[in-house]
Structure 1
């Protein structure tokens, strides 16, 4: 036995052989021995690079997070839910937000037609940074990941991004978008600006309901390269449009 002295008392530590013997008899949750966990962890410890700079780069990829359920339960859980429109994957498909999906698609049509560029250019620009956009969402489900789901994720990003650009344009023009939309448009009009913009704006800053700023950069540069390229040259792609945006 190895020994360590603490004051007048002696504490005996087990030998490595004794620890190995004890682990061999310890069942693991997966049904194997405890020793297999030690082997696996020792390999991880040996392989892992815990350079602070590397760790910082790893966590910097994330910019949109889920709110822990414990925090939601401590407060009004509805405060963490969008009321009118889902932006990004976390709340996509929520039944109460589905009526806005039609208007998102209309926003894509209007933005693309006004730009004079083909839709494929917008899709290609977003697809090129799809991995960075996926990484921006912490704890994103597997239904959005992998080769089979990449196209679906890019479609979501283009659709939601175009909607947000059109909504911000409506705000900048104070609802005077009648040259592109009908005067009685339910969303993109003076009516939409007066009655819906505040709800859209509130949903934009919900923690789980944000879009990476990199997405807007890619869409705007395709829309008007000369106007937006220099404005976004400093973006590293990790910020989001909303409460965490820079």
Structure 2
């Protein structure tokens, strides 16, 4: 009679040990998950994606139509024409301001973590593609805003050929889309790096106000016509 009782006790003991082991693993896994938990967003976070229910009401209203800025719509096949134009602007920019491309890349690398923290969503790009995208997009905005300040009389032949009035108007709207943004600080940093010694240009904030002057309802300074807030945070 003693043996069956002993076997039954042993089974109970084994089950108890198994339960304790599983419990310990469960506690350990949950502890790791809790400890690795990151804040929902950093204090610097300022660029978000439109919630799906809102987007579904009018997809086009929240999607860039001619140019992508930032990571969320990067690589969209419908926007590739302007991607080529960004490369052209980078070439002309580096030649005109006599700046080393490596210096531009290093500036972005130094700010990479701060740039990433500005985005509320996971960035769907490799580090290599992300840095390249930031450089291309930030440079394009700087060069475009500078050319806009100087006036269309100083546009290049290619500008007049590519930047038709309808495209310019639509591009301005694309720049204001919630998902189509770069952090303002990195664009401003590249601008200062390139034009630090230039006295013929205003601040990048003023250039931004000028670019959006059509939508502005406030007066920035006596020397600047009505303008608007910047396209980036």
TM-score by length of 1: 0.65
Q: Residue in 1 aligned with 2:42? A: 59
The SS at the match of 2:179 is coil
CA distances 1:72-116 after superposition (whole Å, capped 9, x unpaired): 12x211111001000111101111111111101001011111111
Aligned with residue 202 of structure 1, among 157, 165, 173: 173
* 2-structure distance, mates of 1:34, 1:97: 52
Give the match for residue 93 of structure 2: 111
Preserved CA contact (<8 Å) 1:62 1:137? yes
- Distance verdict in 2 for CA 1:231–1:40, change over 3 Å: farther
Q: State the distance in 1 between where 2:146 and 2:23 align.
A: 59
The yes-or-no answer on 1:192 pairing with 2:169 is no
**CA contact 2:70–2:182 (8 Å) conserved in 1:** yes
Question: Could you say what the CA RMSD is over the residues aligned between the two structures, in angstroms?
Answer: 3.3
* Distance in 1 separating the partners of 2:37 and 2:74: 36
For 2:64 and 2:116, the matched residues in 1 are separated by 20
Q: Distance in 1 between matches of 2:85 and 2:37?
A: 47
Matched, 1:72 2:43: no
In 2, Cα distance between the equivalents of 1:173 and 1:192?
A: 16
**Is 1:212 aligned with 2:183?**
yes
Unaligned runs of 5+ in 2: 1-15, 205-228
For the pair shown, the structure with the greater C-alpha radius of gyration is 2
Whole-Å Cα distance in 1 between the matches of residues 75 and 162 of structure 2?
26
Deviation of 1:226 after TM superposition, in Å, equals 3.9
Change beyond 3 A, Cα 1:48–1:211: closer
1:71 Cα shift? 1.6
Q: Which residue of 1 aligns with 2:207?
A: none
- Residue number in structure 1 paired with 2:214: none
Task: Name the structure with the higher strand share.
Answer: 1
TM-score, with length taken from structure 2? 0.69
Q: Is the 8 A contact 1:126 1:215 kept in 2?
A: yes
Could you list the runs of 4 or more consecutive aligned residues of structure 1 that deviate by over 3 angstroms after TM superposition? 32-45, 47-50
Give the whole-Å Cα distance in 2 for the aligned partners of 1:193 and 1:168: 16
